[in-house]
């Protein structure tokens, strides 16, 4: 599928991009390249291939493997602050980033 310059201009406008004509030509070429890649992916035979499943999704062949959400031992305040580069009054001290 070939992207026209008008389509590239419309896509740029939808993306709130301000492009000069030579930049639109580059964008058009990049979009063409992406669509050619997608067309190539569409040619791949995926018959019989199971979809990829994330760790939070389960199927009969892939049950969820998650630990119980149970409280465990925690650090005391002094132990937690012991490794801090700067602390005081029971808190971590960090550099101010907002004026």
The total of structural domains in the chain comes to 1
Least confident of 44-48, 63-67, 83-87, 92-96: 63-67
How crowded is residue 17: how many other Cβ atoms within 10 Å of its Cβ? 13
Could you tell me if residue 79 is inside a domain? no
Res 46: pLDDT: 87
Residue-range definition of the domain harbouring residue 16? 5-42
**Residue 46 to residues 6, 54, 59, 61, 63, Cα–Cα distance (Å):** 35, 19, 19, 19, 23
Asked if residue 5 lies in contact with residue 25, where contact means CB atoms within 8 angstroms, the answer is yes
- What is the CATH number for 9? 1.10.20
Distance between alpha carbon 32 and the CA centroid of its chain, in Å?
23
**Residue 39 to residues 2, 34, 69, Cα–Cα distance (Å):** 12, 9, 44
Model confidence pLDDT, tens digit, residues 16-70: 999 999 999 999 999 999 999 999 988 999 888 887 765 555 566 666 667 788 8
């Amino acid at each position: 599928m070939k992207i026209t310059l008008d389509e590239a201009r419309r896509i740029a406008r939808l993306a709130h991009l301000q492009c000069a004509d030579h930049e639109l030509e580059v964008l058009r070429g990049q979009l063409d390249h992406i669509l050619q890649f997608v067309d190539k992916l569409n040619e791949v035979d995926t018959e019989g291939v199971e979809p990829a499943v994330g760790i939070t999704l389960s199927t009969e062949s892939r049950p969820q493997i998650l630990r119980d959400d149970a409280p465990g031992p925690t650090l005391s305040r002094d132990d937690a602050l012991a490794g801090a580069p700067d602390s005081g009054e029971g808190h971590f001290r960090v550099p101010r980033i907002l004026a």
